[in-house]
Structure 1
Amino acid sequence: MTLKMDADALNAFLESDFPQVAGQYLVETVDETTLTARLKVEQTHLRPGGTVSGPAMFALADLAIYCAILSRIGPVALAVTTNASIDFMRKPAAGRDLIAQCRVLKLGRVLAVAEALIFSDGGAEPVARCSMTYSIPPK
């Protein structure tokens, strides 16, 4: 499979179409099987108890899966999440960025299914697992 968007193109798309998240997220790598994205954890992402909040982890998974799908279909801004499930498995480290590793499991004409594992940067065990289905608008 030939990718339609590489990491640089995905980051540029996020900067232009989603300026509200500019600087918080970075697509680090993308290839035919995996996309890796980073959340630059800041104070605003933390919750009491010194851990990264669930909504921050969910947002990273959603953004990373969205970008994994766009890497295959191109810049379709109106592709939207239609289903999501997330399992929070471990407390992420507050002082480290979060890394999402995504795989697209099925890419159809109108639906895409993907999953993401989220890790504290440098950690070996995932802190969360997320699966999502996206609706792809007609051309």
Structure 2
Amino acid sequence: MQLAMTLDDLNAFLDAQFPQVANEFEVMDVSPMHATIRANIGDKHLRPGGTVSGPTMFALADVSVYLATLAMIGPKALAVTTNCSMDFMRKPIAGANLRSETRILKLGKVLAVGDVLIFSEGDDRPVARAAMTYSIPPER
């Protein structure tokens, strides 16, 4: 399988289509059926006690599967999440950015299924895991 979008293409797509959050995420690596994404964590992402909020980790998982899917099918902005199951396994390191390692497990004509592991940068133990399904818009 070949990539339809490069690392630079994906970062540019994020900047153009989602300027409201583009500075919060960075595509660090992309290869067929895989992507590594960084979430830049700041004070607005923290809960009381200094831990990263669940919605922030969900957003990273969601954008990670979205971008890994687009890397394979091209810039289809209307692909949407249809299912998510997420496990929060341990408290992220206070103040550390998060990194996702995403694998696309199935890429069909109408659905993409992905698995995401989320890590605090500087720790090799995952803090969360997500299984996500995306609906791919039909060709017109």
TM-score computed with the length of structure 1 as normaliser: 0.98
Output the amino acid matched with 2:85: S
Output the amino acid matched with 2:84: A
Output the amino acid matched with 1:92: P
Q: Deviations over 1:30-56 (max 9, x none)?
A: 012420000000000000011100000
The whole-number CA distance in structure 1 between the counterparts of 2:44 and 2:85 is: 23
Moved more, 119-128 or 30-39: 30-39
Large movers: runs of 4+ above 6 Å: none
* 2:128 is aligned with 1:128: yes
Corresponding residue pairs, total: 139
Aligned twin of 2:40 = 40
> What pairs up with 1:10-89 in 2 under 5 angstroms?
10-89=10-89
**SS at the partner of 1:23?**
helix
TM-score computed with the length of structure 2 as normaliser: 0.98
The whole-number CA distance in structure 1 between the counterparts of 2:95 and 2:18 is: 26
**SS at the partner of 1:51?**
coil
Q: 1:97: Cα distance to partner?
A: 0.2
Aligned-residue Cα RMSD (Å) equals 0.6
Output the amino acid matched with 1:30: V
The whole-number CA distance in structure 2 between the counterparts of 1:113 and 1:138 is: 16
The whole-number CA distance in structure 2 between the counterparts of 1:136 and 1:22 is: 22
What fraction of aligned residue pairs are identical, expressed as a percent? 60
The whole-number CA distance in structure 2 between the counterparts of 1:12 and 1:105 is: 25
Alpha carbons 2:4, 2:72 under 8 Å: kept: yes
Q: 5+ residue gaps in structure 1?
A: none
* 2:63 is aligned with 1:94: no
